[in-house]
Structure formats: structure tokens, C-alpha cells
Structure 1
Amino acid sequence: MIYTCTITPSIDYTTYLPDFHKGTLNRSNEVFYYPGGKGINVSRVLKRLGVDNIALGFAGGFTGNYIEQFLMKEGIDTDFIQTDDITRINVKIKAQEETELNGPGPVINAQQQSALMNKIKTLKTGDWFVLAGSLPESIPQSFFMEIASICNEQDVRFVLDTSGPALKELVHTEPFLIKPNEHELGELFDTIIVNKQQASYYAKKLVNQGVQHVIVSMGEEGALLVTKDLVVSAESPKGKVVNTVGSGDSLISGFIASYTKDKDAEKAFRYGVASGSATAFRSDLCEKCDVEELLEQVLLTPMEQDVT
């Protein structure tokens, strides 16, 4: 089974209007209410790609109930731990420019942390555990290190998509897959990455440290997959970008959906890039038909390793 975990989920209130003027009344053309959080996005896309999964994490109040009901309607099983805090609402304003207002994440107490850990300890060999999104300061880094350790001990594929200090610590736990963008990859090595040659060089360093698969997302430049045996560049399909939120999460979902069937990293990478692009071309997350229409447009090119 595939388990996703979102520590700080949200309801994303996305509003579209032709112009946004601060300090006055603005009227929206249309609004959408979606459950937010990187792990939740992974769950939603996996289900759309025909892959069952269970969404874990923390949720509370009427907003937490809304998220659970929304996912249930989409056929996604949930096993959230209830919090005392109301799950946050993030406001995304889509006008001539994009503006975001993100609410604060919940305080996760020791009892709630223990409840999540107990769920993770029940995972079995061959399961997947996707830890995605921001990791709040109310939870010590040692907690996430213990999660990674349990996954390793129980032969669970640990997929990590976070940033900052947590990513810097957790890359040493030999995760199955990580997906930094070029800026996050650069932060791991206190450098600035400006092209795929540099990205492949530093991604290979992570592989040499024990990370099994590194996917570096690079926006319009496409993406890069680096493993022990592969360095492959992907050119993304061309299309009108409507919404980049969830594109990276969709890439992870596509990779997992394909890899669980074929155990072929390069094929999974192509499917992941198509999934990420399909989401970028929509106002919501991609559907399976969107992904399959783009597959042939994903151009993969083997790369030589940059030794500079």
C-alpha cells in the first residue's frame, strides 16, 4: 500500500479575478475550494492515475472535516489524526499577478506525534511512505529521522519532498526518492545551480550518499533524474501554464504510479514529467487522460556526468 503523509494540510481557497487592488473591495469571477498540502496532492493524483492509497496526517475542526469528506468523495481512504487546532486555510489570489496568504500550521503535541508514529510502525515490506510538505518547528527533527529509520528497517520505500533544514538532515537516511527543485538542491550544498549539468553533478553527490533516486525539477527547463546507473534529462511538453500548484506533487505521483507497475525508473520518470506538465496546464490536478496525451511529448536525453 502507498501512504502519503501531510503534516500541515490546508484548504486552498483559490480565487480568480481580472485585477487585484489592495485596500479596496475586489470581486472574484470564480473561486475553488481544494484540499491542500503536498502529500494530499500526491494522494489525489495517484487516485486519478488508478492507484489506491491512504492519506495520513493531521486535521482538525470544520476545515479538517471538509478535507476528509472531499477526499472520501474522490475515493481516497484517510486516516488522519485529529488536532485541537482548526486546519488552516490558504488564500491564493490569481489576477495579473499571483498573491498567496498562507495560514499557520497546527501545533502537533507529543501525544499526536506518537499516534502518527504508531501508524507508521504498522507499515509492511513493500509499502510506500511519502512524506511531503513543510515540517513544522513544533515537531523535532529527530521525529522525522525516526520515521525514516523505521521505513529503512521495515523495507518501506521512503519518498521525501520537503525543503530547508529537514531536507538537509533527511537526505542522509537513504530515501528511495527525493524531488528538490534546483534552488533546494543548491541549498543542500550552499551553492547556486543554474543549469542541468550542475544539477546532475550535485544530484549524483546525493546518490553517492545513499539516495536511490533524485529528481530535480527545473521549471521550464524540464527535469533531471539521477540514480546509481542513470543520468537522464527530460524536456517538458509545451503548453499554456495555467497553474503550477501541485505540479511537482503530480510528478512524484506519476513516478510512483508507473514504478509500482514496471519497476523501471526511466519509464517512471517520463510518466512523472508528463503528470507534472498535465497539472500545470489545468486549473486543478491532472487526470489520467491528460497525462497519457502528453507522454510522447516528453523527450528524454541521457547526459554525461559533469565532473567540474
Structure 2
Amino acid sequence: MIYTITANPSIDYVLRLKELVPGEINRTNNDVKLPGGKGINVSRILNELQLDSTALGFVGGATGSSFEQLLKKHHLQTDFTQVADDTRINVKINATEQKQETEINGGGPVITDTEKQKFFDQMKKIGQGDVVVMSGSLPQKVETSFYLDIAKMIQKNGADFVIDTTGQALLDTLPLHPLVVKPNNHELADLFKTDLDTEQDIIDHARKLLEQGAKHVLVSMAGDGALLVTKDHAYKANAPKGTVVNSVGAGDSMIAGFVGTFMKTEDPIESFHQGAACGSATAFSQDIAVKEKIDEVYQSINITKLS
């Protein structure tokens, strides 16, 4: 089973209008409420690929109930830890004529020690053959070591994990051998406090993450495509042609495509192909990509062995 952890999920209230005028009354052309959170995005793509997953995290209050109702529309399997505080609401304002998007993100609920322990107790059921995808921000009163503590816990039970984070938090998990890590080229440069001027520079520094413990490294490069670096070889996926509509969730979609396919096939090349398709398909969509779009984009992606 694939488990996704979204510690600080949200209702994303997306408002679309022609122009945002600060200090004035603005009226929207349309609005939509979406279930937000990086782990939720992963579960939604897995669902499109007809792969089972269980979404975990903290939800609470009236907004938490509304959030769970939104997930039911997407037919996601969930097992959330209920908390006393309200699930947050994030507001995203899309001004089409100005080509600007403004985001106002809530802080999220305060998680008590008892609530956190209930969540940790859920981890005991995760074991051999399972993989846990951890991503996104943490709610209030949750230590920054939260994901690392979970990784240690499930590793003892024989499960794999994926953590989508950056900086020292990512480096701290490498000795535990994450199944895949996915920095973009800028984040990879920041990790090693250097400039990565060439494709070979990126590959060389991705290999340093392998040396520190990662099993696979995905590096997204926006319009330049993406790289997969394994202990044996490096591969490149081209960036397919299309209009980028929404970059939110593209990275989550790439992880979902890779992890879901790897769980079925244990083939990193095919997993990379499907991950690249899922990421680009979401970038070309208003929301998380649907299967038809993923299948269409898959046909226009080529995987090239570089070394």
C-alpha cells in the first residue's frame, strides 16, 4: 500500500477575476474549492492511475469536515487523525489580465502532544511492502523533525519512504535510504552551495545524494525537462510541448507517477517516464491532471540515456 502524509492539509479557495485592485471591493468571475496539500495531490494522481493509496494527516473542525467531503468527490481512501483545531483555508487569487496569482496561506491547526501520538500510533500498521510519501508544510506545535521521526519509525518496520523537502531536512533523511528524492536544479545547487552550470554538473551533484543514501534522484528542470540519476546511469526526459497553466502540484504529480509505477514494476526507467508524464500533464491542466491528459502527454515524452 502507498500511504501519503499531508500533515497540514487545506481547503484551497481559488478566486478568479480579471484584475485585483488592492484596497477596493473586487468581484470574482468564478471560484472553486479544492482539497489542498502536497500529499493529497499525490493521492489524487495515484487515483487517476488506478492505484490504491491511503491519505493520512491531521484534520479538524468544520473546515476539516468540509475538507473530507471534498475528498469524497475524488474517491480517495483516507484515515485522518482528528484534531480539535480547524483545518486551514488557503486563498489563491488569480488575476487573469494581470497574469498574477496571489496566495494567502493559513497557518494550520495547533497539534497537541496527544493528537500527535495518535498519529504516530497509526504508523505501527505500516510495514514490509508499503511506501510512505511525506510532503508539505507542518502545522503549528509540530517539531521540524516530524518527518524524520516517521521515516525512522517505518524503516524499522521494513517500509520504504519518499520525502519531498529541501535543505538540511532532506539531507538528514538520506542515511535512511529514501526510495526517491526530487529536488529541482536550483534546490540541488542550494544543497551544495554552488552553481550548476551544465547538465553534467547537475548529474554529478545528484550522484552525491546517491552516495549519501538516496536510492534514486529525480531532478526537475522546468522547460529543460527532467533527469533521473541511479547508481548505474543517468537519464533525461524531454519537456513536452504545451501551455503551462498551473505549476502547483506538478512536482507532486511527478512523484506520484514515479512511486506508483515503481511499486508495480520496480523499473526506474518506466517509473521516470510515467512520472514525467504526470508532472507535465498537471502543469498543462487547471487542476491535478486526469488520466486522459496523462496518457496523451506520455506519448510525447522520450527518455534518453545520458551515461
In the superposition, the TM-score normalised over structure 1's length comes to: 0.94
Shift of 1:137: 6.5
Instruction: State the Cα distance separating 1:157 from its structure 2 match.
Output: 1.5
Partner of 2:282: 279
Report if aligned partners of 1:45, 1:287 keep a CA contact under 8 Å in 2: yes
Comparing 203-212 with 62-71, greater Cα deviation is found at 62-71
Partner of 1:49: 49
Aligned ranges 1:285-296 → 2 under 5 Å: 285-296=288-299
2:235–2:306: 8 Å Cα contact kept in structure 1?
A: yes
For 2:168 and 2:118, the matched residues in 1 are separated by 24
The equivalent of 1:181 in structure 2 is 184
How many residues end up aligned between the 2 structures? 304
The equivalent of 1:132 in structure 2 is 135
**Cross-structure match for 2:124:** 121
Instruction: State the match for 2:170 in structure 1.
Output: 167
Distance verdict in 2 for CA 1:137–1:186, change over 3 Å: farther
Partner residue of 2:100 out of 91, 97, 101: 97
Q: Say if 2:59 and 2:82, in contact at 8 Å, map to a contact too.
A: yes
Deviations 1:65-104 (A, max 9, x none): 1121221232211111122221111111112211111111
How many angstroms apart in 2 are the aligned matches of 1:192 and 1:138? 35
Instruction: Find out whether 1:202 has 2:179 as its counterpart.
Output: no
Matched residue, 1:80: 80
Cα distance in structure 2, aligned partners of 1:56 and 1:113? 12
User: Which residue is 1:144 aligned to?
Assistant: 147
What code does the residue aligned with 2:230 have? T
Cα separation, partners in 2 of 1:174 and 1:106, compared to 1, 3 Å:
same
Match of 2:250 among 247, 252, 256: 247
Shift of 1:194: 4.5
3-state SS, counterpart of residue 238 of structure 1: coil
Q: Helix, strand or coil: the match of 2:125?
A: coil
Question: Aligned partners of 2:130, 2:121: CA distance in 1, in Å?
Answer: 15
CA contact (8 A) 2:163 2:181 kept: yes
Structure 2: which 5+ residue stretches go unaligned? none
Give the deviation of 1:195 after TM superposition. 4.3
| 1:2, distance to aligned residue in structure 2 (A) | 0.8
Cα distance in 2 between the residues matched to 1:38 and 1:242:
18
Q: Structure 1, residues 96-138: CA drift from partner, whole Å, max 9, x if none?
A: 2111111112222221221111111211200110101123563
Amino acid at match of 1:45: I
Alignment correspondent of 1:4: 4
1:303: how far off? 2.1
Distance in 2, matches of 1:166 and 1:137, equals: 17
The answer on whether the counterparts of 1:107 and 1:138 sit within 8 Å (CA) in structure 2 is: yes
Counterpart for residue 224 of structure 1: 227
Amino acid at match of 1:105: G
Aligned to 1:300: 303
1:193 is paired with a residue whose SS is coil
Task: Tell whether the 8 Å contact from 1:236 to 1:274 is kept in structure 2 after alignment.
Answer: no
User: Would the alpha carbon gap of residues 87 and 192 (structure 1) be closer, same or farther in structure 2, given more than 3 Å must change?
Assistant: farther
Runs of 4+ in 1 over 4 A off after TM superposition: none
- Corresponding residue for 2:215? 212
AA of the residue aligned to 1:41: N
TM-score (normalizing by structure 2): 0.94
CA distance in 1, matches of 2:49, 2:64: 25
Quick check: 103-112 or 1-10, which moved more?
103-112
Cα distance change of structure 1 residues 13 and 123 upon mapping to structure 2, 3 Å threshold: same
2:107/2:140 contact within 8 Å kept: no
The residue that corresponds to 2:65 in the other structure is: 65
Match for residue 31 of structure 2?
31
| 3-state SS of 1:140 partner | coil
Q: Percent identity?
A: 46
| Distance in 2 (alpha carbons) for counterparts of 1:143 and 1:276 | 27
Q: Which residue of structure 2 aligns with residue 258 of structure 1?
A: 261
C-alpha RMSD of matched pairs (Å): 1.6
- Would the aligned equivalents of 2:86 and 2:108 in 1 still touch at CA under 8 Å? no
Task: Give how far 1:160 is off.
Answer: 0.8
1:255 touches 1:271 (CA, 8 Å); kept in 2?
Answer: yes
**How many Å apart are 1:34 and its aligned residue?**
0.5
